[in-house]
Amino acid sequence: MNLVVLEHVDGAPTEVSMQALTLAQGLGGATHALLIGPGAREAAATVPVAVAHVAEHEALDAFAPDAWAAIVCEVSDRIGATAVVAPGTEHATDALARAAARLGEPLAANCVAVTPGNPLALTRVRWGGSLLEEALLHAGQALLTVAPHTVFAASPGSPGATEPFTPELSDADLVVTVRDRVAPAAAGVSLPDAKVVITGGRGVGSAEGFGPVEELASLLGGAVGCSRAVTMAGWRPHTDQVGQTGSKIAPELYIACGVSGATQHIAGCKGAKRILAVNTDPEAPIMSVADYAVIGDLHEVLPAISAELRRTAS
């Protein structure tokens, strides 16, 4: 019996959750799902699993990692789950790590493939995506997260039963909880959802230098990203950062401008279908992962692309 923790937005399971479900189903045996908080019941009704457990509690309106961990432990104990799988997002990883500590079991994070058996044979992403590790998981109960965008979500099947329940939560489970959310300054498409991302690195030169990056993003209906060198310089907020310690994204097109292509940066954008590098240095490491490159000054190249887009649109 496997339990998969599914995150959901606007009453539908997220894409990375469905990827986690596909990996969980590959383990064999029946798969149950766990969905938590507002909108969970609606999302659960679409999920192709034997039973979708829906945790409903007034304290679950905001994310609370220990509460999630308590709920994971409660449900996995109730159904006798031998494996618990979740998407490798910040929230689900946080919750599963806490569940692992409660259960006294190891957590294998960022799996990309699992071969059923005892022990489970895992392939997982390590070192910010620069290493694929083959490992055997010796555990009473396997706790796994799935690296986002590394597993294709199978086509949805028929949904199973939905079982709402009220979890038992203590005050200690609710000590850590999200109290407030700060909306990003810029409106428009968000970095993780954008089909096109135009990222600026240190080569942009200054906060004001992002003008051509923002202009191109607006013309292409895309989002602006940046490297850590940029956030460290205070030119852009951390919410724009792509990489090992930023967002991990998989757009159709990733345009990296003035970005050298450090492994920690590539960890965040290597899921992109196509990468276009704009860089003055033809030897920059980004070239080894780029599908297309323009060797030149981004302050000349980007306005030229924007001008051409405007000309063809008029």
Ligand X SMILES: Cc1cc2nc3c(=O)[nH]c(=O)nc-3n(C[C@H](O)[C@H](O)[C@H](O)COP(=O)(O)OP(=O)(O)OC[C@H]3O[C@@H](n4cnc5c(N)ncnc54)[C@H](O)[C@@H]3O)c2cc1C
Which residues are paired to 10 by β-bridges?
none
What token pair was written down for 289? Answer: 């992962």
Alpha carbon 50 to its chain's center: 25
Residue among 33 and 242 whose Cβ is closer to ligand X: 242
Applying CB under 6 A, the site for ligand X has a residue count of 27
Residue among 127 and 291 whose Cβ is closer to ligand X: 127
Which residues are paired to 195 by β-bridges?
none
Residue among 160 and 258 whose Cβ is closer to ligand X: 258
d(CA 58, CA 8): 17
270 binds ligand X per the rule CB under 6 A:
no
d(CA 282, CA 280): 6
254 to 191, 224, 230: CA distances (angstroms): 11, 10, 17
Site for ligand X in 96-125 (CB under 6 A): none
d(CA 102, CA 93): 14
Given 228, 236, 240, 290, the residue binding ligand X (CB under 6 A): 228
Given 41, 91, 195, 202, the residue binding ligand X (CB under 6 A): 202
Q: How far is the CB of 199 from ligand X (least distance, A)?
A: 8
d(CA 171, CA 224): 40
Q: How far is the CB of 292 from ligand X (least distance, A)?
A: 15
From 107, 128, 87, 70, select the one nearest 245 (Cα to Cα).
128
Given 65, 160, 167, 201, the residue binding ligand X (CB under 6 A): 201
Tell me how crowded residue 229 is: count the other CB atoms within 10 A of its CB: 19
What token pair was written down for 173? Answer: 């489970």
> For ligand X, which stretch binds (CB under 6 A), given 55-63, 85-93, 103-111, 259-267?
259-267
Given 49, 240, 244, 254, the residue binding ligand X (CB under 6 A): 244
132 binds ligand X per the rule CB under 6 A:
no
243 binds ligand X per the rule CB under 6 A:
yes
Residue among 220 and 269 whose Cβ is closer to ligand X: 269
- The residues that touch ligand X, with contacts defined as CB under 6 A, are 201-203, 227-230, 241, 243-246, 258-260, 262, 264-265, 268, 278-281, 284, 297-299
